[in-house]
Amino acid sequence: MDENPVVYEKSVSFRDYVLRGRTYVNELLRYWYIPAAFALLGAGYKAYKYSDHIPVYNAQITFSIDEDEGGSSAGLTGMLSQMGLGVRPTRYNFDKILELSKSRRVVQEPMFARITVDGKEDFLANHIIRIYGVGVDEEEGSGEPMFFTHDSLSSFTREENELLKSVYGLIIGPPKNPELALLTAGYNEDSNIMTMNATTKDETLSIELARRTFYALSNYYVNRAIEKAQRTYKIVSMKRDSVLGVLRSAEYQLANFEDRNRGMLMRTDQVTKLRLQREIAALAAMYAEVLKNTEVADFSLRTKTPFIQVIDMPIPPLNPSEASFLRSILIGMIIGGLIGVIFVAGRKAIRELMSENDAVSVT
């Protein structure tokens, strides 16, 4: 008698897979009405959701940026820009603008601009609160929203700061789902054209949010880019005006001295005249140098100032973006049909598994 019996493993061929697949196809054909019923349920659900669909309005601004980052070749690149040979903005600059467009420093400025929506003038933030129900807690109280009554951010209470952050979060969207943002920005790497889109449930709100945010971003970016050069220009301008004032005073003193003496000068008086003339000559040389520095600072300021040019601004009327009814129905039918197919196939697989277990138990 063999102590080590040979175990024969059952091999599954491709033919077995085909036959098994055919049984599942026959099962689906036999119970075709189950996937059909799920498809109808999916289509009905999508049709119901379509009836609740609220159209949104997209306001888009397109603009371009021409700037010089400065550095040791600021003057050269400035002259090249004037001849049409300037260096194009880098991707770093575009990414910096995109980050600034989502910063609270930029977004909160248009939030407190007064605009009129549906005949009611109020802060832009309050219109967003009213349309989207920001801050409404239906579980507590009557669910009435809280509105901003003033735009003095420094005197905001804790509750007002929380509301400000909620509106800001709605505008820029959640970090994990940026597509839900009311305001987005981007750029085309080939054309270097930037876009800013505001998408809300109200046409006027979309246009005003896009337009006012763009101007806030533009002003802040330009001011930050020229801050150092502007400070230098202001210092040399003040120095120029100061030297010019002292020079004029010295010239007036010399003229007044000569008028009082009328050409009859003693030797001691000539010393005073020579001193004033020497002082005027020194001040004139100093003024010429300061004036040159002022012109250089002014040129540097102009070459460092980014030029943001608007290409297109949104104008009413805006076409509302609506979901296609037929597309919604088809998606619902496909999803429902797939669920029905999985249900029929899964039910057959469970039946076969139970049959095999019963056979093993009997053996």
pLDDT in tens, 246-296: 888 888 888 887 777 765 556 666 777 788 788 888 888 888 888 888 888
Global pTM reads 0.61
Q: Which residues sit opposite 312 in a β-bridge? A: 62
For residues 269 and 106, give the distance between their C-alpha atoms in angstroms, rounded to a whole number: 65
Asked if residue 177 and residue 123 are part of one domain, the reply reads: yes
Among 61, 125, 316, smallest CA distance to 204 is for 316
pLDDT of residue 318: 82
Whether 297 and 226 have beta carbons less than 8 Å apart is answered as no
pLDDT of residue 211: 92
Domain-located, residue 238: yes
Asked if residue 104 and residue 179 are part of one domain, the reply reads: yes
Q: Which residues of the chain have pLDDT under 70?
A: 1-14, 16-17, 50-53, 67-92, 135-143, 262-269, 322-325, 356-363
For residues 207 and 112, give the distance between their C-alpha atoms in angstroms, rounded to a whole number: 15
Task: Give the domain range for residue 291.
Answer: 229-304
Asked if residue 68 and residue 38 are part of one domain, the reply reads: no
Torsion of CA 285, 288, 293, 294, to 10 degrees: 140
Asked if residue 98 and residue 133 are part of one domain, the reply reads: yes
For residues 13 and 15, give the distance between their C-alpha atoms in angstroms, rounded to a whole number: 5
pLDDT of residue 210: 92
Whether 145 and 135 have beta carbons less than 8 Å apart is answered as yes
Whether 113 and 208 have beta carbons less than 8 Å apart is answered as yes
SS (H, E, C) the chain: CCCCCCCCCCCCCHHHHHHHHHHHHHHHHHCCHHHHHHHHHHHHHHHHHHHCCCCEEEEEEEEEEECCCCCCCHHHHHHHHHCCCCCCCCHHHHHHHHHHHCCHHHHHHHHCCEEEECCEEEEHHHHHHHHHCCCCCCCCCCCCCCCCCCCCHHHCCHHHHHHHHHHHHHHHCCCCCHHHCCEEEEECCCCCEEEEEEEECCHHHHHHHHHHHHHHHHHHHHHHHCHHHHHHHHHHHHHHHHHHHHHHHHHHHHHHHHHHHCCCCCHHHHHHHHHHHHHHHHHHHHHHHHHHHHHHHHHHHHHHCCEEEEEECCCCCCCEECCCHHHHHHHHHHHHHHHHHHHHHHHHHHHHHHHHHHHHHHC
pLDDT of residue 75: 46
Asked if residue 174 and residue 83 are part of one domain, the reply reads: yes
For residues 320 and 53, give the distance between their C-alpha atoms in angstroms, rounded to a whole number: 12
pLDDT of residue 31: 81
For residues 248 and 52, give the distance between their C-alpha atoms in angstroms, rounded to a whole number: 77
The amino acid at 202: D
Asked if residue 194 and residue 70 are part of one domain, the reply reads: yes
**Domain count along the chain:** 3
pLDDT of residue 72: 41
Domain-located, residue 4: no
Domain-located, residue 64: yes
Asked if residue 212 and residue 136 are part of one domain, the reply reads: yes
Asked if residue 203 and residue 267 are part of one domain, the reply reads: no
Domain-located, residue 8: no
Question: Tens digit of pLDDT for each residue in 70-89?
Answer: 444 444 444 444 544 444 45
Asked if residue 48 and residue 78 are part of one domain, the reply reads: no
Asked if residue 355 and residue 276 are part of one domain, the reply reads: no
Residue 230, both tokens = 């502007």
Domain-located, residue 23: yes
Domain-located, residue 2: no
Domain-located, residue 195: yes
For the purposes of burial, counting CB atoms within 10 Å of the CB of 83, is it exposed (0-12), middle (13-18) or buried (19 or more)?
exposed
CA atoms within 13 A on the CB side of 270: 5
Asked if residue 183 and residue 92 are part of one domain, the reply reads: yes
Domain-located, residue 198: yes
Asked if residue 214 and residue 234 are part of one domain, the reply reads: no
Q: Which residue has the tokens 């669920």?
A: 339
For residues 9 and 15, give the distance between their C-alpha atoms in angstroms, rounded to a whole number: 17
